[in-house]
A and B are shown apart, each in its own frame.
Chain A
């Protein structure tokens, strides 16, 4: 089995990174949006701990993902895709990578500036990356939130574009980020005339 990325599709390792991070981002968004309004309790602390642990995991995963991408290469842009679209897509991808770093790092700063411990799944502790500082805490917190909504917007563009490619333009953009044969790509879009000629049999 070829683990690297062939020219026509993403290989299994890149796909695993992509979808694992998708799932973790959904978990993080849910935790992040619900945990802050809870009253102080061990339950709240447990949710924060989980949010921090998963965030650190994403930071590690995105690092490995980029290194893997450097090593394994990327598939070629589909011929059917106009140049401007390919360029917008590339910018979006790099912005998403940047946010996948910026989100956990800004969260780490929030935690450091608040003076809270940082523990990965109760296994080991990581040091603060900023001094304890109330003003920095506020700043990092609002930055973390702004970055999150930016990520939401970019993910919407990215996922929306992938769906457009699959459903409207019938190309392999989405299918090649999934295991073979999970998604069938209709080779050519039927013209309205073709559809008109299909008659139900009596």
Chain B
């Protein structure tokens, strides 16, 4: 008996086997966070970016086909101190009115060991695009977790210009860390 349906399935299956492996597509799930920290007058301040959004295609065995895209709204960035927030979102720093979103895109990944990887991506912030490396650990599972750290030199992006460029007051290097809980994209 000759079934065109069965024949078609066999062809499809064969095609899947021979095609280059595609990384799994993930979207961000609840429980994710993107935070930053620096020092000010001898104390550590921290802040977070609520509403950031992550799209990830990742396969530890096929890093070449992996990609990461994060979009970060800046108008809601907060340090939980209204005096700081007003200044941070304003013209001298993020200028969120003109540059409402920062974007981090990476398509180059390196394996560092065990579950550790580095993404060599580009951060677009405040109208400036520059390379930023994100080091992360990858915890596989039904809801994989990407835990990463990066250092962003704020002055490279013109964040805190003019008098605010004084690094004695606010250091150039701002530590960014993230924990992204992922789920397969529908």
Residues of chain A whose beta carbon lies under 8 Å from any beta carbon of chain B:
40-43, 45, 49, 114-117, 119, 122, 124-125, 132, 134
Contacts and interface: CB of A to CB of B under 8 A. Distances in A.
B156 interface: no
28 contacts: A40-B87, A40-B92, A41-B163, A41-B164, A42-B164, A42-B166, A42-B169, A43-B163, A45-B41, A45-B169, A49-B41, A114-B81, A115-B80, A115-B81, A116-B41, A116-B81, A116-B83, A117-B41, A117-B43, A119-B41, A119-B42, A119-B43, A122-B42, A125-B41, A125-B42, A125-B43, A132-B81, A134-B82
Contacts, number: 33
A35 to B, nearest CB: 14
A197 to B, nearest CB: 68
Contacts of A49: 41
Interface in B85-121: 87, 92
B41 A42 contact: no
B43 to A, nearest CB: 4
A122 B164 CA distance: 18
Contacts of A115: 80-81
A117 B83 contact: no
A108 to B, nearest CB: 15
Nearest to A52: B41
A114 B83 contact: yes
A125 B87 CA distance: 23
